[in-house]
Structure 1
Amino acid sequence: MYVTFSAAGWGRRRRVGVWAAAAGVVASLVSGASTAEGAPVAQAARPFVGPTGVLAQVHTAGRVKDTGNTVQYSWPGVYFEGRVSGTGVGIALNDSAADYDVQVDGTTVATLVTPGNTTHWINGLSNRTHTVRLVKRNDTPWDTSAFGGFVAAPGGAVLSKPAARKRQIEFIGDSLTVGYGNLSTSRTCTSDQLRRTTNSDVSYGALTARRLNADYQINGYSGLGMVRNYNGGRPDVTYRTFYDRALQNVPGDVWQNPGTWRPQVVVVNLGTNDFSTAVNPDEPWTPDSLAAAYRSAYGDFLQKLRTRYGTGTTIVAVGAGQYAGHVQQVVKARNDAGDRRVRHWFLDDSGLDFLGCDWHYSAHDDRVISDRLTPFIAGLPRVW
C-alpha cells in the first residue's frame, strides 16, 4: 500500500530492488521515454562492466553503495554524469519505483518512469562527444535503486568521466527539500500524480547548487521531522533515524563516505513536520515539551554535522514559520559557544504560491527560494 499525507507528507511502500541485469537482455521500452529524435529505440542491453566498476566511468556526489558492476542508492536527486562519443548512449538501470530524467548536452531528452530492469537507449545523436546526465527525480525510501552505468552505441566509446566540481553543498530536509509534487498543476494529487510530478532536480537545493557551480546532495525525506513527524505519524522514527544511511530501507545501514564528500556548506531545513499540525491526544508532547525537545535535538544534530565535517564547514540553519524562532535560539547557542560558522537563514515565504501537491512548494516557489538563498550563501565569508 502507498499512503500519502498532506503538508510535508510522507509516502511508504515496501519493496526492495535487486539488480539482476545480464548482457544480451533486450531493452524494454519505458513509459514516458523517448529518443533524441522523438521515437523510442530498443537495442540489446550491454551493461558497462569495467575493471573498477561503474564509478570509474561516471561522476556522482550522491550517497551510493559501490557493488562494482552497479551502484545502489535511495536518496532523491542522486545524479550520474558521464561522457560518451558516438551516435547513441544506453542507460543501464534496475529500478521499479523511481523516475529519472536523462539529459544529453544539457537538454532533457527522456523521462524514464519506473524503468525496471533495462538498458534504455538514446539514439540519433550527432557523431561526436556528448555529456550525459542521469538524475533521480523523486524520493523512494522504501526501495533500493541500482545503476549499471552508461553504454556507448556501436562505433562509439565511453570516455573519461567529468571532473568533480570544487564546490559542494549538502541539503538536509523533508518533502519541501525533496521537491514534493513541485511540477503539479493542482494541490490535490493522487499517489501516482504525486510520484510523476515530484522532481528533485528543480528543487530549490538543486537550483541553488547549480547556480553556484557546486556538486550537491539532497538528503530529504518526506514527512519526517527532527523529533516529531507529520501529524504524529511513525513515532518510532524521525529524520535522524535515517540520516546516516545510504539505503534508507535497510535498518542499520551506514553510508561510507569515500573521502571525496567534504561540503563547504550544509543547509538544514527541518521543522515543518514537527510543528505544522496540532499535537494529538495520544502523543507524548505538550507544545512546550515539543519545542524544548526540538531545540535539544537540533543542537545535537548540528554537533553531529560539526564533528563529521569539521570546523571549516558552514552550516546554514533554515528557519521558517512556527519553527523559525526555535532555530534562531539553537543558532545563537552555537554562536555563543564559539561556533561562528553556524548561520541562521530566515526562509521568507512572501510571493510563494504553494501550488505543489498538498500545498507544497511549486517549481515557481523553488525558483523564488533559490533566488533568495543563492546570494545568501554566495555572500557568506570564507566559504569557498
Structure 2
Amino acid sequence: MRPIRATAVLAAVLSTVLLPGTAHAAEPSPLASVAGCPPDRGPAQACDAANPQRPGPDVLAGAHTAGRVKPDGRSVRYSWPGVYFEGRFRGTGVGIVLDDADNDYDVTIDGATVATLVTPGKTTYWVKGLAGGAHTVRLVKRTESPWASGAFGGFVAAPGGAILPKPPARHRQIEFIGDSYTAGYGNVSDTRECTSDDVNRTTNADLAFGALTARRLNADYQLNAYSGRGMVRNYNGGDPGIDYRTFYDRALLNVDGDVWRNPGTWRPQLVVVGLGINDFSTAINPGEPWTPDSLMAAYRTAYHAFLDKLRAQYGPRTIIVVSATSVYNTTALADATQRIVQERNARGDDRIRYWYYDESGLDYLGCHWHPSSHDHQVIAQRLTDYIATLPLRW
C-alpha cells in the first residue's frame, strides 16, 4: 500500500522572479514578453499614468472570473487556488497588472500557454508581438496561498489596441470543495521528494481534476481547496480546533472573519465535495481528543451540518456529490461518506450523491505521494463520466 501524506502547504519566503516559461509549462512562445512597461513607454513606475487603457476602478468590467475575489480599490484580491481571469482585446499586445510576491500564474493567449509567472511581485507583465486583430487572454493562479492574498489589477491594451468586452459567463457552474487532491498539490513534480518550495513551484491547480473536468464540460468553476485540512481533523492532528470549515466562507484565507460576498452570479448546478483524507489518513496521536469512534461520529455530524449549509446556500436543485477515494490502510473515509449519503437520501434528498474513485491506473508520482498530472487526467475522465449520469439540466 502507498503511504499518504497530505501535508499543508508551508509558507516560505519566496524570491520575486519572473519567468517566460518553465519546465512544467508550455515551451516559451516566440512572442516578445516583457515585464513592466512596453519599451516605448519608459519606466514601469510611469506606465499606468501614460497608458490611456489603464483599467478603471472596476477591473472586472474587462475581465471575467467565477472565483472568490474581493474588490480592493483599483484591483481585486483573492487567495483560493485556481482563480482565473479571462479577457478579450484587439491589437498586438496585452498587459496584465499584478501585485503578488507569493503565487505563480500561467498566461494563455488564444488558448496557448505563453508564460509562467513565478512570484511576479508588483508589475505589469506584457505579451507583445501578436498579429493584429482580436485575441483572448487568460490568467490563472496555479498555487495555494492560505497565508497571503494576490491582487489582479486588470488587463491593459498595448498602444493602438483596445480592451474588448469581457467574455460572457458560462451557463454551467461547478464548485469543487476539498483538500490537497483538489488543489493539485505537487502534481507536476518529477519526484515524490519535495521541499516546501518544490511544492509551491510544482502545484498547478489548473491541471487538477476539478479544473480539467470543468473545461471538458465548458463550465465556470471554483476550486475552494485547502491542503492539509479536514472536516474536523487536519493532517496528523495539526492545528486542533481549526479545520476546513473555518475557512470555507472566506475570500481571503489569511484574514480572520473575512466573508466572501457572492455577487449573485454564482449559482452552481453541481458541487463536488472531497473532504476526509486528512481526517482519517494518519493514526490518532497521544493527546488528541479523539478515539476512532468519536472521530467518526464528529466527522459524520460535521459533514451533515456542512451539507445543510450548502443546501441552504444553493437551493434544492443543486446536485451535491460527496466524493471519496482510497485512504491508506483504512476504509473509514469510504464507509463514512457512503453512510452520510445514504442518510441524506433516506431523508428525501436524492440530489446528494456518492462517488468513489479507487487507485487503479493512478501512479501517485506527485509530491509526497499525491496524484500526478497523469492521475488528475484519469480522475477527471472518471468524474466527467460520472457527471454524465446525473440528472443535471444545464
Q: What TM-score do you get using the length of structure 2 for normalisation?
A: 0.90
1:214 and 2:219 matched = yes
Match of 2:41 in 1: none
SS at match of 2:106: strand
Match of 2:345 in 1: 335
SS at match of 2:85: strand
Give yes or no for contact 2:304–2:340 (8 Å, CA) kept in 1: yes
Match of 2:25 in 1: none
- The C-alpha deviation readout for 1:174-230, integer Å capped at 9, x for no partner, is 001000000001000112111111000010000000001100000000000000000
Tell me the amino acid that sits aligned with residue 379 of structure 1. Answer: T
Match of 1:13 in 2: 11
Give yes or no for contact 1:265–1:383 (8 Å, CA) kept in 2: no
SS at match of 1:151: strand
Instruction: Supply the distance in 2 between the matched residues of 1:33 and 1:370 (Cα, whole angstroms).
Output: 25
Match of 1:144 in 2: 149
Match of 2:19 in 1: 31
Tell me the amino acid that sits aligned with residue 83 of structure 1. Answer: R
Match of 1:24 in 2: none
Match of 2:281 in 1: 276
Match of 1:96 in 2: 101
Q: Within 5 A, what are the aligned runs for 1:371-382?
A: 371-382=381-392
Tell me the amino acid that sits aligned with residue 364 of structure 1. Answer: H
The CA deviation at 1:378 is 2.1
* Count of matched residue positions in the alignment of Structure 1 and Structure 2: 367
Match for residue 61 of structure 1 among 60, 66, 69: 66
Give yes or no for contact 1:85–1:128 (8 Å, CA) kept in 2: yes
Give yes or no for contact 2:59–2:75 (8 Å, CA) kept in 1: yes
CA RMSD in angstroms, aligned pairs only: 1.7
- In structure 2, the CA distance between the partners of 1:136 and 1:109, relative to structure 1 (3 Å rule), is same
1:124 and 2:129 matched = yes
Match of 1:165 in 2: 170
Give yes or no for contact 1:32–1:111 (8 Å, CA) kept in 2: yes
Match for residue 361 of structure 1 among 371, 388, 393: 371
Q: Within 5 A, what are the aligned runs for 1:216-365?
A: 216-321=221-326, 322=331, 323-365=333-375
Instruction: Supply the distance in 1 between the matched residues of 2:110 and 2:255 (Cα, whole angstroms).
Output: 35
Instruction: Supply the distance in 1 between the matched residues of 2:99 and 2:223 (Cα, whole angstroms).
Output: 21
After TM superposition, which residue ranges in structure 1, 4 or more long, deviate above 3 angstroms? 31-36, 47-52
The CA deviation at 1:49 is 4.6
- In structure 2, the CA distance between the partners of 1:262 and 1:99, relative to structure 1 (3 Å rule), is same
1:194 and 2:199 matched = yes
Instruction: Supply the distance in 1 between the matched residues of 2:220 and 2:32 (Cα, whole angstroms).
Output: 32
Tell me the amino acid that sits aligned with residue 378 of structure 1. Answer: A
Give yes or no for contact 1:91–1:121 (8 Å, CA) kept in 2: yes
Stretches of structure 1 that go unaligned for 5 or more consecutive residues are: 1-5, 16-27
Instruction: Supply the distance in 1 between the matched residues of 2:80 and 2:17 (Cα, whole angstroms).
Output: 25
The percent of aligned pairs where both chains have the same amino acid is: 62
The CA deviation at 1:52 is 5.0
Match of 1:21 in 2: none
Instruction: Supply the distance in 2 between the matched residues of 1:14 and 1:141 (Cα, whole angstroms).
Output: 12
Tell me the amino acid that sits aligned with residue 162 of structure 2. Answer: A
The CA deviation at 1:65 is 0.4
Tell me the amino acid that sits aligned with residue 30 of structure 1. Answer: L
Give yes or no for contact 1:36–1:124 (8 Å, CA) kept in 2: no
Tell me the amino acid that sits aligned with residue 34 of structure 2. Answer: V
- The C-alpha deviation readout for 1:240-279, integer Å capped at 9, x for no partner, is 0000000000000000000000000000000100000000
The CA deviation at 1:36 is 3.8
Give yes or no for contact 2:32–2:129 (8 Å, CA) kept in 1: no
Instruction: Supply the distance in 1 between the matched residues of 2:162 and 2:231 (Cα, whole angstroms).
Output: 46
Give yes or no for contact 2:17–2:118 (8 Å, CA) kept in 1: no
Identify which range, 94-103 or 29-38, moves more after superposition: 29-38
The CA deviation at 1:33 is 5.0
Give yes or no for contact 2:77–2:149 (8 Å, CA) kept in 1: yes
Instruction: Supply the distance in 2 between the matched residues of 1:74 and 1:41 (Cα, whole angstroms).
Output: 26
SS at match of 1:82: strand
Tell me the amino acid that sits aligned with residue 205 of structure 2. Answer: S
Instruction: Supply the distance in 2 between the matched residues of 1:193 and 1:157 (Cα, whole angstroms).
Output: 38
SS at match of 2:108: strand
SS at match of 2:34: coil
- The C-alpha deviation readout for 1:11-32, integer Å capped at 9, x for no partner, is 24389xxxxxxxxxxxx97134
Tell me the amino acid that sits aligned with residue 13 of structure 1. Answer: A
Q: What TM-score do you get using the length of structure 1 for normalisation?
A: 0.92
Instruction: Supply the distance in 2 between the matched residues of 1:235 and 1:334 (Cα, whole angstroms).
Output: 28
Instruction: Supply the distance in 2 between the matched residues of 1:83 and 1:120 (Cα, whole angstroms).
Output: 16
- In structure 2, the CA distance between the partners of 1:227 and 1:78, relative to structure 1 (3 Å rule), is same
Tell me the amino acid that sits aligned with residue 84 of structure 1. Answer: F
